[in-house]
Amino acid sequence: MNKKIDKKTIKKGLLPYLFLFLVMLGVFYFFNVFNQDIHELSYDEFIDYLDKKQISKLQLIPRGSGYIYEATGTLTDYKENESFEARLPLSEEVMKKIVQESADQDFKLTVKPDPESSSFLLIIVNVLPIVIFVAIAFWFFNKQMAGNRSSMDFGKSKARLNTDDNKVTFKDVAGLKEEKEEVKELIDFLKAPKKFQKLGARIPKGVLLMGPPGTGKTLLAKAVAGEANVPFYFISGSDFVELFVGVGASRVRDMFQQAKRNAPCLIFIDEIDAVGRQRGTGLGGGHDEREQTLNQLLTEMDGFGANEGIIIIAATNRPDVLDPALLRPGRFDRQVTVNLPDVKGREEILAVHSKNKILADGITLKNLAKRTPGFSGADLENLLNEAALLAVRRNKEEITMSEIDEATDRVLMGPAKVSHKYSENDRKLVAYHEAGHAVIGLKLRSASDVQKVTIIPRGSAGGYNMMVPSEEKLCSTKTDLLEEITGLLGGRTAEEITFGEITTGAHNDFEKATKIVRAMVTEYGMSDLGPLQFEQQSGSVFLGRDYNKPQHFSNEVANEIDMEMRKIIDDCHKKATEIIKKNRSLLKLIAEALLEYETLTKEQIDYLVENGKMPEENEDNLESLSITKLRELAKEKGIKNYSKMNKAELLKELDSI
C-alpha cells in the first residue's frame, strides 16, 4: 500500500546525513592539509634547484602589492605529499630566468593574480568558511534550546483559544430552551457588567453543565462564547493531570494568568470529573497529582485572589463523583442539568440537522420526533447521517422512510446480520416470541404503541419489538410499570403456550423486567412493604457500584423483598398468559406475517389486526413485498439460488439489477 510521504519529513530525515557528510569532508580536508610535508627554501636554494633542472612544477602568486612572488611547487625527487615554498623578489632578471628554464625543462609554470586585488574573492576565501561554521553552530544551539524550551513549557497551560470565525450562537442550539435562559445572564454580564455591579449583584463564577452524553453541553458552552463575543478558552480535564506531581497545578495557574490578560473571557473545561473527583477516596487513598490540581483550581476560582471577568463553564456526565468543595457557592454557583430532549426539542434538533439533507415528501419531522423517544441530540444527528449514507448506497436521490427506519434500527441495535442463516425452526421460534411481545403491546394500549416488529437479527438479538410510549410522561405510574413488565414477559409466554418449551431468547427481557421490579420494591415503594426506600441508585463509584454496597435492612426484610419481587413477576406472567391465550389467533396471524415478510411496520400491523390480512403488495416498493413474491421476481430476473436467499439478500440482488 503506497503512502504519501511529506516533503518536510524527507528534509528532516536528510539533515543528519548531510551534516555527517560535511563533518567527514572537513576531517578529510584537515588530515589532507596537515599530512603535507612542506619545505621552506631560500632564494639561493630555489635558484640552485632551478639551475640543476630539478623543478617539476611551479606556481607564482604576487604578494605585497606585486613586489615579491610567493613560489610553490614540487621537485623531481619529491614524494606525493611533499612540496616547497619560497619567496622571490620581483625582478626582470628572475622572471626571465624562470621563463627560460620552464621552456628548456618543460615543467608546468602557473602564474595566478594577487587574491588581495579582488575584494569579492577575498571575502569568499576568508569569510565564507567562518560564516558556514557559525551557521552550523547556531543551528545546533537553536535545536538544543528548542528542546530545553519544550521541557520548560511542561507546566504551561494546554488551554487553547478558540479562533474559529464560524462562531456558534443560540440559533445553532436547538431545544434546550430553559438551559439557554439560565446562561443568558452570563452573556449580559460579559457585555454590560456595570448594570449588575450597580445593584450589587455578583455574577456566577462558574456554571456546571450536567447531563447524559450527547445532549449538547459543549455546544451550549460554545454558544455562550459566541453570543458574548469574548475570548473563549477550551481545555479537557485530562489535560491537567500528568505523571509528575505539581504539573497540573502549574497548568491551572498558567491558564488563569492567560485568562486575566484577556478578561472578560470564558474558560470551558470539558469532562471536569477527570480532575474534580472527590479527594481522599478510592482504594489506597487519593491521587496526589489530581488532588493538588483540584486544590489549585479551587483556590483560583474562589480564594484570596480575585479573578474578575473570568467565567468558567464546565461539563460532565458524572456529577456524583465531583468534590463537594467544587460545587459550593462561590465556585460553581449554578448547576444546569441538560436532559434528553422532549418531543418538541427533538423536532427542533431534527430541523437543524436536516437543513442540508433532501427528505422525501412523505416524511415529517414531527412524526419522526415522536418515533425517537430517548434519543439525544447526538443520536438524532447520527440517525439522519446514517439515513443519508444508506440513501447514497442505494443510489437514491432523496431520503425515504425506508432509510430512516433502517437507520433507527442501526442506532438502536446495530447493523442487520443479513448473512446470518436461521433454521426454519429458529425462525418460527423468534417469530412467535416477537409476536407475543406485539400482542401484549396491542392489548395494553396504555403502556406503549407497537411501531415495528422484526425477526431480522441485529447485535445480540434475534429480533426485536420497537415500542414507543403513547405519550411522554414525567413520572411513571405503578400500572405503567406493571404493563411494561407484562409486555417484557410476552415473548417467553408465547413460547410456552405455542411450543410447550422455553428458550434462551428471553434473557434480555428478564434482565429488564427484574431491574424494574427491584426498583419498584426497594426504591419506589410500590409493593406491600409500603413507602420505604431500601436501596439507592448509585453505589460506590470508586470501588465499583456494587462493591461494598451498604444494606440498610435486615435479612428478614431481604427475604420479604425477594417474595414481593416474585409476587409481582408471577402476577404479570399470569396476566400475559391470559392475554396470549385469549388472542391466540392474533398471535398466529402476526407470527405467520413475520415469517413471510420478516419486518412489519405500525401501519401494516394495524391493517393486519383490523382486516385479518396484510395490505395489497405494491411491486414498486420491493421492501414491502413478501419473501414469496420476491422469490418470484428473482426467478423472473434469472437470479441463481434465489430459493435459498433470505429477504435481505433478495432485496440486495434485485436492487443491483
d(CA 114, CA 615) in angstroms, rounded, equals: 109
Say which DSSP state 260 is in: H
Residue 485 to residues 290, 449, 562, 646, Cα–Cα distance (Å): 44, 15, 16, 33
**DSSP-based three-state secondary structure for 408:** helix
Whether 253 and 300 have beta carbons less than 8 Å apart is answered as yes
Whether 468 and 602 have beta carbons less than 8 Å apart is answered as no
Instruction: List CB contacts of 343: < 8 A, sequence separation 6 or more.
Output: 369, 370, 373, 472
The identity of residue 204, as a single letter, is: P
- Other beta carbons within 10 angstroms of residue 369's beta carbon come to 22
d(CA 311, CA 200) in angstroms, rounded, equals: 18
If we measure between CA atoms, which residue out of 425, 418, 435, 416 comes closest to residue 592?
Answer: 435
d(CA 321, CA 473) in angstroms, rounded, equals: 29
Question: Could you write out the DSSP letters of every residue in 424-486?
Answer: HHHHHHHHHHHHHHHHHHHH-TTTEEEEEEE-S-BTTBS-EEEEEESS--SS--HHHHHHHHH
If we measure between CA atoms, which residue out of 376, 14, 446, 402 comes closest to residue 216?
Answer: 376
Determine which helix (DSSP H) or strand (DSSP E) holds 374, and give its type and residue range: none
Return the active site residues. Answer: 434
Q: Is the dihedral of CA 178, 220, 238, 300 positive or negative?
A: negative
**DSSP-based three-state secondary structure for 385:** helix
Report the DSSP beta bridge partners of residue 55: 75
- What's the residue count for the chain? 657
Task: Give CA 488 to chain center in angstroms.
Answer: 36
Helices and strands (H and E) in the chain: how many: 24, 14
Q: Which three cell numbers stand for residue 175?
A: 431545544
The identity of residue 398, as a single letter, is: E
Q: Which three cell numbers stand for residue 583?
A: 388472542
If we measure between CA atoms, which residue out of 316, 319, 313, 318 comes closest to residue 332?
Answer: 313
